[in-house]
Amino acid sequence: MEDFLKDKVILIVDDTPENIDILNGILHDFKRKIATNGQRALKIAHDFPPPDLILLDIMMPEMDGFEVCRQLRNTPATHDIPVIFLTAKTAKEDIVKGFEAGGQDYVTKPFDPAELMERVKTQLKLRHQQKMLEKMNQLLEQKVKERTAQLEESNKKLADAFEQLKVLDDAKSRFLKLISHEIRTPLNGIIGSTYFLEDMVQDPELKEFISILKESVERLERFAINALFLTHLHTRQFDTRLQPIDLQKILDEALKENQSLINKKELVITNDISNFPPVLGEEKLIQKSISETLHNAIRFSSGKEIWLSSEENDRFFALKITNPGKEIPLEKLENIKEAFGLAEEHADKSSGLGLAIVNTCQQLVNGNLNIESADGKITVTLQYQKA
């Protein structure tokens, strides 16, 4: 017999001493308690610890086994103690009555020791498994409560961190707006002065100096504008509404915007695009993407020609802008899509936001940015979904 069964307590309820002696002999391996009437049985059942199983005679004076079982089932402390009825009655209605009263099993008199022992073991094992399941459920419930409390605490921390992040983002946005305004206001005066001086000064050396000054303040102004624009994108202060966009119009405007730099570097723009289907996007974002990409290609071109080309299929149209330039290692191509991310330091030690802005704009319009570097050329591809 399994070791855990030996510690089980069986309450024997019978008003016949001979039956009690027989049951004591059969169940000698178990701990046993005895009651000779229903009232005594109920009292013992309510003592702590309660019995693990009750063998209950049906035919007893004053209170029969059916009534004892009903009272056991109506009391929370004893309602789940298994009961095996001991009966000389074998009529079907008596057996059904025993089950209706709450019994789990029955054994007929005279007792067959082997049958009685197997029925007792079966009920004790079921009771043991039930308690194990209850204990496991309690442990699981406790774990769930602990885990729920941890998740609630984590969610609260995340919510607090999110609120703090919103405050920091708002502060950053306000700061950059302020800085942008404080930088651009005096820059406008300097830029205007450089144009004025450029027209007035005739000395070649001074003209070169003024030209350098003019380029520097223009770059600084562009940086201030781009930093603020990128902040607006990252803090979702831009309302994106995708609609059909005329790419040819936007490209023409971008070329005009960069015309002075094209002229200064004496570049030739070769446009091999014959068809511009409408694409889905937001005009301001696509305008910024194309203008910044073109500006980078012109600024960092090591040759005298920029090539514009395209690719398309049934779903997508891709604008390609190619310039001569030093090859960028493959492992560094993705890096240059990040703010201040450089594949390698430029000759003028500059770092930029241009491609970071392009990358963010492309994501907001469900487009794609791809950069390739091979055979002394750098190609930036801006892909859009056709309208």
Q: Quick one: pLDDT at residue 4?
A: 77
For residues 20 and 11, the answer to whether their CB atoms sit within 8 Å is no
Q: Convert the pLDDT of each residue in 244-262 to its tens digit.
A: 999 999 999 999 999 988 9
Q: Is the pLDDT of residue 360 over 70?
A: yes
Distances (CA, A) of 268 to 247, 298, 308, 366: 21, 10, 11, 31
Q: Is residue 126 part of a domain?
A: no
Upper half-sphere CA count for residue 261 (Cβ side, 13 Å): 20
Residue type, 71: Q
- The reported pLDDT for the residue numbered 24 is 94
How many distinct structural domains can be found in the chain? 3
Residue 122 belongs to some domain of the structure: no
CA distance 98 to 92: 10
Distance CA 62, CA 60 (A): 7
Residue 228 lies in a domain: yes
Last residue of a domain, one of 65, 87, 111: 111
Q: By residue range, what is the domain housing residue 324?
A: 239-385
Which CATH number does the domain housing residue 348 bear? 3.30.565.10
- What gap in Å lies between CA 262 and CA 11, rounded to an integer? 103
pLDDT digits (tens, 9 = 90+) for 133-169: 989 999 999 999 999 999 999 999 999 888 888 887 7
Residue 324's Cβ-count burial label (10 Å; 0-12, 13-18, 19+) is: middle
pLDDT band at 343 (very low <50, low <70, confident <90, very high): very low
Task: Kindly state whether residues 36 and 85 are assigned to the same domain.
Answer: yes
Return the CATH number at 75: 3.40.50.2300
Q: Are residues 196 and 267 in the same domain?
A: no
Per-residue pLDDT, averaged over 122-141, amounts to 91
**Measured on CA atoms in the order 162, 163, 164, 165, is the torsion positive or negative?**
positive
pTM of the model: 0.49
* Residue where a domain stops, chosen among 237, 253, 279: 237
One domain for residues 261 and 357: yes
pLDDT at 339: 58
Does a structural domain hold residue 135? no
- pLDDT of residue 34 exceeding 90, the answer is yes
Based on the domain organization, do 193 and 270 belong to the same domain? no
| Residue 287 domain flag | yes
CA distance 213 to 223: 15
Residues 245 and 342 in one domain: yes
For residue 322, the model assigns a pLDDT of: 95
Whether residues 254 and 232 fall in one domain: no
Which of 205, 237, 269 lies at the terminal end of a domain, its last residue?
A: 237
Say whether both 254 and 331 belong to one domain.
yes
- The answer to whether residue 355 sits within a structural domain is yes
Same domain, 102 and 161: no
Q: Is position 117 within any domain?
A: no
Q: Same domain, yes or no, for 269 and 176?
A: no
pLDDT tier at 223 (50, 70, 90 boundaries)?
Answer: confident
Shared-domain flag, residues 326 and 370: yes
Give yes or no: residues 90 and 197 share one domain: no
Residues 92 and 169 in one domain: no
Using DSSP's 3-state secondary structure scheme, residue 89 falls into coil
Yes or no: say if 349 and 363 are a contact pair by the CB < 8 Å rule.
Answer: no
Mean of pLDDT over the chain: 86
124 belongs to a structural domain: no
Peptide bond into 324 cis (omega under 30): no
Residue 210 vs residue 38, higher pLDDT: 38
